[in-house]
Amino acid sequence: MTATVSPPTVGRLPNPRRSTEKRRQRTLTWVLAVISLFTVAPLIAVAVLALSPEDAPTLPYALPSSLTLDNIIRIFNVGEFPLWLWNSFLYSAVSVVVVLLTASMAAYALARKRFPGRNALLWAIIATMMVPVQATLIPTFILISKMGGVNTLWGLILPTLANAQAIFLIRQFVRDMPEELFDAARIDGAGEWRTFWQIVLPLIRPVLATLAIFVFLWHWNDLLWPLVVGQSDAARTLTVGLATLNTETASTSNVMAATLVSFIPCLVIFALLQKHIVASITHSGVKG
Amino acid sequence: MSVNTRTRSTLAGRHPALTAPPLKPFGARKARNREALAGILFVLPTLVIFGLFKFLPIFGAGAMSLTEYSLNGDFEFLGADNYVRLAEDPNFWQSLKVTFLYVAIFVPFIIAVSLAGAVLLDKLVRFTGTFRALLFIPYLSSFVMAGIIWTWIFSTDGPLNAALGGLGMGPVPFTSGPQLLVLLSLAVVSVWKGFGYSMLIFLAGLKAQPAEVHEAARIDGAGAWKSFWYVTLPLLKPVVFFVLVIETIVGFQVFDTIYVMTGGGPARASHSLIYFLFDEGFKFFDFGYASAIGVVLFVIVLILSLIQQRFFEGKDSK
């Protein structure tokens, strides 16, 4: 492949171990290239199908003779697709902002302040991580419906703001900060809120960035809760819309165009923050 | 002044011996009260959100599972009737069977694929970042998106059956055939979408292994396979166990791909536990009964989490 085999220099025999290693690396590269084909080919197929002219022969029997943006333009003009996109964006973006803010505040208090009931609260928050969201799906739905939140965006967003993992992760960061930092802030006369805003928040930026990525992805890709609470278009997210498109008799090119559009934000985030994502999974085991 | 009292109260908090004769009782208490007030204010939004949307529903799930709860809010206390009904409901046992079968296929499958990917990436010297990204990319997609792509790939006139047709084999009903085939197809989709995450965890575990051990194995004449089987894998055991539990929990929660690809069919062949809960709750609006199914799911996940914790605590205390 890319490894160029240099001709052996005159008078010096090629090191046999190095050449076996070279051969091994080349085989390894090929094997990984084949595996990558399996992981990436379905995504390329989506793009090709989404960009193929609607009536032209296309995959799996032929490659389209030309590519077009018609399908993508059409889904933006027809039906409720733009609304779903907007709903998904709000569901994800609002959740990221509120979760990060409330979780940082709570994590700061739980790690640094002594108040009655602190340990009980911390224990209770951590314990909720053991309860799968599906197990509380019904009572949460009943609660939201009693509050009048079915088919509304606030009803969709509110219950997902309780994120124990975010609190847990941020708390570990805040707990490991040196006490002198807070003493210094106190000597300088910084109030509680200023200490939080100007000292704690800037220092936990790395963990906030990581959490922002995962909270965004989790909401953007979530299905069950939006499916249950957002049945009308007013609160229907992209995943729910896609799932219904797929079961209805929408054309393949429409479904694939919508799927492609839904994937683009995730791809952009990955392209920009790849190193961050990889590091956070390998270090803290954040589950998206 | 505030510095002194602050240091004092911190020490007092940490060392019980110092709490007995407080030097500045008034100032210390004042500072302590202010600290407590600040703490409570900071934690208040979370307390409200968790109280309403975590603690209340958790107790609600247990309570509702003991009732017959109808759409308009009327309920009737039934005791354990819902659980008795579950035990006698063939659909419940069917969904349990589907879920366990699926987990039995999915978990070894995803562990094998992610471990293989990690081992290959670990051995690779150049282009590691590129291949890592290419293998990880599907993880960014939603299960819905994965389901849509693979519905097309598995369809009668999709690429897979086109290739099989080229070999002279009839169309294979990947998502509408026999149960094991359907569950295998669903597992393929989830493995494709999810293995990148476990692969990165395995990769980190492999990178953490000391090079000397592998060098020693090589000098002792162990080949690549032997070295993997007798050195790499035993050292990786805690990581494997961690991933095993995580993926088992993920497996028990399978829903999205089923909703998109098979709708629980054919003939309940892929009607998983969550799908059963979803049907009972939002097709038949039998909320009490659906809550009981949720409690069963919770118990299964709880047992898995406890096994994981027990295992890791055992490791730490050594």
Mean pLDDT over each residue of chain A, to the nearest integer: 86
Highest mean pLDDT among A108-112, A282-286, B127-131: A108-112
- Taking CA–CA distances from B260, the nearest residue in chain A reads A243
CA distances from A207 to A137, A160, A173, B296 (A): 29, 20, 8, 34
Give pLDDT tens digits for A33-75. 999 999 999 999 999 999 988 776 667 777 877 788 888 888 8
Say whether A287 and B246 touch across the interface (CB within 8 A): yes
Mean pLDDT for the stretch of residues B154-160: 88
Instruction: Read off the pLDDT band of B55 (50, 70, 90).
Output: very high
Tokens linked to B10: 């911190």
With a cut of 90, say whether residue B147 has pLDDT above it: yes
* Residue range(s) in chain B whose domain bears CATH number 1.10.3720.10: 84-317
| Three-state SS annotation for B265-313 | CCCCCCCCHHHHHHHHHHCCCCHHHHHHHHHHHHHHHHHHHHHHHHHHH
Question: Residues with Cβ < 8 Å from B123, sequence gap 6 or more?
Answer: A24, A28
Report the relative pairing of strands B75-77 and B67-69 from DSSP bridges: antiparallel
Q: Which one of A135, A187, A247 has the shortest CB-CB distance to B295?
A: A135
Q: Please list the residues that pair with B76 across neighbouring strands.
A: B68
- Reference A102, options A168, A161, A175; nearest CA is A161
Mean pLDDT for the stretch of residues A267-287: 76
Q: Do residues A137 and A224 lie in contact, with contact meaning Cβ atoms separated by under 8 Å? A: yes
Highest mean pLDDT among A17-21, A283-287, B115-119: B115-119
Q: Which of A20, A97, A136, A286 to mutate to test the interface with B (most CBs of B within 10 A)?
A: A136
Instruction: Read off the pLDDT band of A248 (50, 70, 90).
Output: low
Query: Would you state the pLDDT for residue B25?
Result: 55
The verdict on A148 touching B (C-beta cutoff 8 Å) is no
Which has the minimum average pLDDT: A112-116, A217-221, B210-214? B210-214
Query: How many whole angstroms separate alpha carbon B301 and alpha carbon A131?
Result: 7
Tell me if the domain spanning A80-284 has CATH number 1.10.3720.10: yes
Instruction: Read off the pLDDT band of A79 (50, 70, 90).
Output: confident
Query: Would you state the pLDDT for residue B312?
Result: 67
CB contacts, 8 Å: B290 with chain A: 137-138
Query: Would you state the pLDDT for residue B135?
Result: 94
For A250, counting Cβ atoms within 10 Å of its Cβ (0-12 exposed, 13-18 middle, 19+ buried), the class is middle
Instruction: Read off the pLDDT band of B32 (50, 70, 90).
Output: confident
Query: How many whole angstroms separate alpha carbon B234 and alpha carbon B240?
Result: 9
Mean pLDDT over each residue of chain B, to the nearest integer: 86
Crossing angle for the helix pair A164-175 and A118-128, nearest 10 degrees? 130
Total CB pairs under 8 A between chain A and B? 283
User: What's the complex ipTM?
Assistant: 0.87
Q: Do residues B258 and B190 lie in contact, with contact meaning Cβ atoms separated by under 8 Å? A: no
With a cut of 80, say whether residue A241 has pLDDT above it: yes
The verdict on A260 touching B (C-beta cutoff 8 Å) is no
Q: Do residues B262 and B175 lie in contact, with contact meaning Cβ atoms separated by under 8 Å? A: yes
Give pLDDT tens digits for B247-268. 999 999 999 999 999 988 898 9
Question: Among the CATH numbers 3.40.50.300, 3.10.20.30, 1.10.287.1080, 1.10.3720.10, which is that of B84-317?
Answer: 1.10.3720.10
Say whether B61 and A288 touch across the interface (CB within 8 A): no
Instruction: Read off the pLDDT band of A11 (50, 70, 90).
Output: low
Query: Would you state the pLDDT for residue A97?
Result: 96
- DSSP state at residue B225: H
Q: Which one of B13, B57, B162 has the shortest CB-CB distance to A114?
A: B13
CB contacts, 8 Å: B152 with chain A: 45, 49, 252, 256
Query: Would you state the pLDDT for residue B208?
Result: 87
Share of chain B above pLDDT 70, in %: 89
Q: Do residues A195 and A185 lie in contact, with contact meaning Cβ atoms separated by under 8 Å? A: yes
- Residue carrying structure tokens 């007995």: B20
Mean pLDDT for the stretch of residues A164-168: 93
Say whether B295 and A115 touch across the interface (CB within 8 A): no
Query: How many whole angstroms separate alpha carbon A120 and alpha carbon A109?
Result: 13
Name residue B188's amino acid: V
Q: Which of B35, B50, B151 to mutate to test the interface with A (most CBs of A within 10 A)?
A: B50
Helix, strand, coil percentages (3-state) for chain A, rounded to 5, are: 75, 0, 25
Instruction: Read off the pLDDT band of A167 (50, 70, 90).
Output: very high
Query: Would you state the pLDDT for residue A282?
Result: 74
- Residue carrying structure tokens 């939201």: A144
Say whether B137 and A227 touch across the interface (CB within 8 A): no
Query: How many whole angstroms separate alpha carbon B222 and alpha carbon B231?
Result: 10
CB contacts, 8 Å: B42 with chain A: 105-106, 108-109, 113, 192, 196
Query: How many whole angstroms separate alpha carbon B205 and alpha carbon B118?
Result: 9
Say whether B253 and A161 touch across the interface (CB within 8 A): no
Q: Do residues B43 and A121 lie in contact, with contact meaning Cβ atoms separated by under 8 Å? A: yes
Domain ranges in chain A? 16-68, 80-284
State the virtual CA torsion across A152, A154, A160, A166 in degrees, nearest 10: 150
